[in-house]
Chain A
């Protein structure tokens, strides 16, 4: 059964290779090849899942050693896979949601000439993401990490003829490099201090303590912070969050798959996977929770002000991942809930993005919500599925977001002490803002009067429902959005499933669970009510009003790009200029000066060679005199 693990990755990898190397012959069927191989990978995942369920909870770790990759003295890196409950969860999410989005893309990208290439990139992404979550050591994980970065870059910039898309791809790539540096430094530190980066010996497991158990807290804090930096880059957490909004330039299925459901959660995976390190480094954990809390508010505030439907959803993604990171930073109290929220978020956020894509598909690719309005009549299926996703994300009781988010808020309070109160308060506030901005999106898109106008060519959009190939994935995801939370909570099944890997701790909540749940629901209702007051009862202006200071700041992503520009870009430019100056004057000066002086010396010495035998003889005579004198002198001293 272990041998199936490699096939999980091999199927989409094969698809990528075939589609990207296959040439134009495959243009007609390329999308189906990609989709088929994605579903094949999902099927392998389901088989493996069934196999795992049949085993004892303690026996559910499968490993597959494929080959020895690099072996230099004690530096040993293997291509080996580990399938346990944590990676299994990810495998099902990635291949399941991924396959649905492949299917959806068949309809969405129908008219795109470079469709084959698009599906090749999607398959490449699946393979890299699976490699990331299945790797048995950090170095191989790093390969997958870079692989998803590459796929993300290629897909954000897929419509490369648009300068904005090309720029966004570049920006995502560059910001991610900063995080990648963190991961590579963390791996180097692991090798330096522990001599290995394999999960088993390093982190322990199956009752065995790993090497990190004996390490000093300082070392683990350093590694933990570097891992957090990596997670911030990939998961768009403050301060490396700036790329996610721009990444919405990519085709909408890409936003759904990569920038909502899967890749951006890689950071959460990394932190949960490295739980053994963070558990032993409380300082690093505290930083993780702070990053999570700041980001969940940051993303939520940004989401409130965006008129671009995808950017509003991107802000929401950032915010929801903030919840996950916050939960992951809480340690064993939160790991399970981080992953649970990750999965439910995968369902409803993918569904929301696909819904947004469906709306854009019907509205001539218009993204400005101020030009929507009243679409519920034109797109009933999209409206219902989007609506269910909306209810899930705001935490409507009974739907999946309610269960997972509520647990995270509880866990935050359960952290205890002042920290617990602050973190829990932030999480509650975030829940209220979430309800506000999601209600805003919902109202501006599907309710109120129609606000679309003919464009300059006189083409008026004719909103219409999307084809079945697009609506079916949306329906499936909507079902997941509704049911997942309940299923996961049924007899704490999800906790029991993940507990052997992540451990679980109930913590000491200062308030009873009922009180917190009540507060969460109350916050949600307040958020919805404010949004309804602002956008439901009053007509939405077609042109955005100037807004308050906070609104304007949020529209500009809270000045994150301005900050980056002033501090990093300008600073970098100044640094570069001064280095260039030093290079030109000092380094080149020394080099050229040396060359010039050697050349000058050469010219002068050359004149000694005047062609006269008498001069040569004199020089020989002088030479032998010096030779003799030197020999005698050596004896004298």
Chain B
């Protein structure tokens, strides 16, 4: 159904009602998303019909199968040439199936799978009343500290709903970077955001803080979504369409037929500029760019750590994918307008994230600010507006997401009586007590800092190179300065772990199940492989770097 048809419905009432064509859906090309959505619905049904004891296993099974199957579908599509020669638009223009989309979907699915492992971990907390417990509240609806909460704990309840929620979020993230019109983009945004808000509120320990974080995230997310929606409306007013391709044509002035009903407003550049700025703002909120970053530390700290890890990795991948598509497909004709603005955003994001991180005392907040700084580095690659820019961003996102999930997974291991010991002072001397865990965390920190032989270096080098070649030399200088500042606090944690005396009542390192071990192991492996031999993956990202229009 074309948009002009909709208009004619209520502008020319005399016309006969137009016949609505049966939408043509390419189920094969949409299969990754459909599998995940289907599994999420199955997960909801499991909650409804499966006995409580069996739900955990059923949910984990369904989720793992769904994510693996979806990833296999992505690989099959890529192998079938949909990333390159056969890339195109599916679902009546709503979804793009092309290289960047498939690459990012693959990354999100893998990150989601690894994240799922940390969600399913049930060995870290001591058993409560003979029941194994995970990181999530026994019963989310019960008031913290109330009798009903105690009863729920005693009954051994667990919030197995997190698994379908996770799948819904992943489904939204899969659509987000592939959305090819603004409405789909917005729906994907909401589909990925709402489960995240919920999951943020589900921490088993420090529930009030968790709920506070969720409310903050929800309020600010809603605020940002409102701007995005407003921007979509303005762009629609400008172009008479929500389709990326059509808007791009209007921007370029090559639109084939102008509807008379829109002729007055169409091509009004004020609408275009304000609308574009608002949509971009919504995406910058999701990636956590300054000055739309303020939710990040609070939410990262309050959310259950597995959720934080998943959110930090996958949301960033999805949001940057959407941002890339908006800037490269919808607004390339406008790049002389948006590039200087994005320059400013990238600079304040890199510097702001790195500088404020210096004085953090909580490991989760530290990693939150680090993720802000990394958003700035990735933005530098986005600004390059070259094919290399796209592929370097894709590579960076893949590298970064595994480091992030791995790092947060390590955070879940270091515990004291109150649950996770996230205050930095408690990490002093960890290297003496648990050399392996400290060494693994050190690898992740070095990757964050961009030290050679880690994926962080390869990624940072790729985006900075692309940025410099794209004419953003000063941005690279700022990026390197920020990296230097950032290196300080990463290294400081390493020094703290290895060269400080352990505290007598320091935290213990819990021995996790193979699930978390897998998550951490995959993180280390990807970090080292992408760091030592990045070329294959850079080539892969390079092949996947062309957007379909």
Instruction: Output the nearest chain A residue to B290 by Cβ-Cβ distance.
Output: A623
Residue pair B356, A605 in contact (C-beta under 8 Å): yes
Residue pair B294, A630 in contact (C-beta under 8 Å): no
CB within 8 A of B359: which of A599, A613, A622, A632?
Answer: A599
Whether A538 sits at the interface, judged by CB under 8 Å, is no
Main secondary structure of the interface of A (DSSP, over half): helix
- B454-501 residues with Cβ-Cβ distance < 8 A to A are 485, 488
Given A623-B292, A627-B277, A631-B341, decide whether A617 and B358 contact each other with a Cβ distance below 8 A: no
Given A616-B220, A620-B224, decide whether A609 and B273 contact each other with a Cβ distance below 8 A: no
Residue pair A631, B338 in contact (C-beta under 8 Å): yes
- A342-367 residues with Cβ-Cβ distance < 8 A to B are none
- Cβ–Cβ < 8 Å partners of A631 in chain B: 273-274, 276-277, 337-338, 341
Whether B227 sits at the interface, judged by CB under 8 Å, is yes
Nearest Cβ distance between residue A29 and chain B, in whole angstroms?
Answer: 48
Residue pair B220, A598 in contact (C-beta under 8 Å): no
- Cβ–Cβ < 8 Å partners of B294 in chain A: 608-609, 615-616, 619-620
Nearest Cβ distance between residue B344 and chain A, in whole angstroms?
Answer: 7
- A4-57 residues with Cβ-Cβ distance < 8 A to B are none
Q: Contact mask A118-136 → B, CB, 8 Å, 1/0?
A: 0000000000000000000
Residue pair A635, B298 in contact (C-beta under 8 Å): no
- Cβ–Cβ < 8 Å partners of A615 in chain B: 294
Given A613-B216, A632-B274, A635-B269, decide whether A623 and B356 contact each other with a Cβ distance below 8 A: no
Nearest Cβ distance between residue B216 and chain A, in whole angstroms?
Answer: 5
Residue pair A628, B292 in contact (C-beta under 8 Å): no
- Cβ–Cβ < 8 Å partners of B337 in chain A: 631, 634-635
Nearest Cβ distance between residue A610 and chain B, in whole angstroms?
Answer: 9
Given A609-B294, A635-B269, A635-B273, decide whether A603 and B224 contact each other with a Cβ distance below 8 A: no
- Cβ–Cβ < 8 Å partners of B397 in chain A: none
Whether B270 sits at the interface, judged by CB under 8 Å, is yes
- Cβ–Cβ < 8 Å partners of B227 in chain A: 624
Which of A595, A606, A626 has most B Cβ within 10 Å?
A: A606
Residue pair A619, B291 in contact (C-beta under 8 Å): yes
Residue pair B220, A620 in contact (C-beta under 8 Å): yes
Residue pair A620, B291 in contact (C-beta under 8 Å): yes
Residue pair B358, A602 in contact (C-beta under 8 Å): yes
CB within 8 A of B273: which of A605, A624, A632?
Answer: A632
Q: Given the complex of chains A and B, what is the CA–CA distance between A626 and B292 in angstroms?
A: 12
Whether B321 sits at the interface, judged by CB under 8 Å, is no
Residue pair A598, B292 in contact (C-beta under 8 Å): no
Q: Given the complex of chains A and B, what is the CA–CA distance between A632 and B344 in angstroms?
A: 14
Given A602-B358, A634-B336, decide whether A622 and B291 contact each other with a Cβ distance below 8 A: yes
Nearest Cβ distance between residue A616 and chain B, in whole angstroms?
Answer: 4
Residue pair B219, A601 in contact (C-beta under 8 Å): no
Q: Given the complex of chains A and B, what is the CA–CA distance between A609 and B352 in angstroms?
A: 12
- Cβ–Cβ < 8 Å partners of B291 in chain A: 619-620, 622-623, 626
Which of B280, B352, B355 has most A Cβ within 10 Å?
A: B355
Q: Given the complex of chains A and B, what is the CA–CA distance between A423 and B104 in angstroms?
A: 85
- Cβ–Cβ < 8 Å partners of A611 in chain B: 298
Nearest Cβ distance between residue A608 and chain B, in whole angstroms?
Answer: 8
Nearest Cβ distance between residue A383 and chain B, in whole angstroms?
Answer: 68
Residue pair A628, B220 in contact (C-beta under 8 Å): no
- Cβ–Cβ < 8 Å partners of B292 in chain A: 620, 623-624
Name the interface size band of chain A. Answer: 20 to 34
Nearest Cβ distance between residue B222 and chain A, in whole angstroms?
Answer: 10
Name the interface size band of chain B. Answer: 35 or more
Nearest Cβ distance between residue B431 and chain A, in whole angstroms?
Answer: 24
Nearest Cβ distance between residue A603 and chain B, in whole angstroms?
Answer: 5
Q: Contact mask B216-231 → A, CB, 8 Å, 1/0?
A: 1001100110010000
- Cβ–Cβ < 8 Å partners of A627 in chain B: 277, 280-281, 341, 345
- B220-276 residues with Cβ-Cβ distance < 8 A to A are 220, 223-224, 227, 269-270, 273-274, 276
- Cβ–Cβ < 8 Å partners of B295 in chain A: 616
Q: Given the complex of chains A and B, what is the CA–CA distance between A465 and B285 in angstroms?
A: 97
Whether B340 sits at the interface, judged by CB under 8 Å, is yes
Instruction: Output the nearest chain A residue to B348 by Cβ-Cβ distance.
Output: A623
Q: Given the complex of chains A and B, what is the CA–CA distance between A42 and B338 in angstroms?
A: 81
Instruction: Output the nearest chain B residue to A608 by Cβ-Cβ distance.
Output: B294
Whether B297 sits at the interface, judged by CB under 8 Å, is yes
Instruction: Output the nearest chain A residue to B278 by Cβ-Cβ distance.
Output: A624
Instruction: Output the nearest chain B residue to A611 by Cβ-Cβ distance.
Output: B298
Which of B223, B294, B360 has most A Cβ within 10 Å?
A: B294
Nearest Cβ distance between residue B231 and chain A, in whole angstroms?
Answer: 9
CB within 8 A of A598: which of B223, B270, B485?
Answer: B485
Residue pair B216, A606 in contact (C-beta under 8 Å): no
Q: Given the complex of chains A and B, what is the CA–CA distance between A615 and B220 in angstroms?
A: 11
Instruction: Output the nearest chain B residue to A616 by Cβ-Cβ distance.
Output: B294
- A586-614 residues with Cβ-Cβ distance < 8 A to B are 595, 598-599, 601-603, 605-606, 608-609, 611, 613
Q: Given the complex of chains A and B, what is the CA–CA distance between A616 and B285 in angstroms?
A: 11
Residue pair B219, A617 in contact (C-beta under 8 Å): yes
- Cβ–Cβ < 8 Å partners of A635 in chain B: 269, 273, 337
Instruction: Output the nearest chain A residue to B489 by Cβ-Cβ distance.
Output: A602
Residue pair A620, B285 in contact (C-beta under 8 Å): yes
Q: Given the complex of chains A and B, what is the CA–CA distance between A234 and B295 in angstroms?
A: 71
Residue pair A606, B220 in contact (C-beta under 8 Å): no
28 interchain pairs (CB within 8 A)? A598-B358, A602-B358, A602-B359, A603-B359, A609-B294, A609-B297, A609-B298, A611-B298, A616-B216, A616-B295, A619-B294, A620-B220, A620-B224, A623-B290, A624-B227, A627-B277, A628-B273, A628-B274, A630-B341, A631-B273, A631-B276, A631-B277, A631-B337, A634-B336, A634-B337, A634-B340, A635-B269, A635-B337
Q: Which A residues are within 8 Å of any B CB, using their own CB?
A: 595, 598-599, 601-603, 605-606, 608-609, 611, 613, 615-617, 619-620, 622-624, 626-628, 630-632, 634-635
Pick the 7 closest A-B CB pairs, nearest first: A623-B291, A616-B294, A602-B358, A602-B359, A628-B277, A624-B281, A630-B341
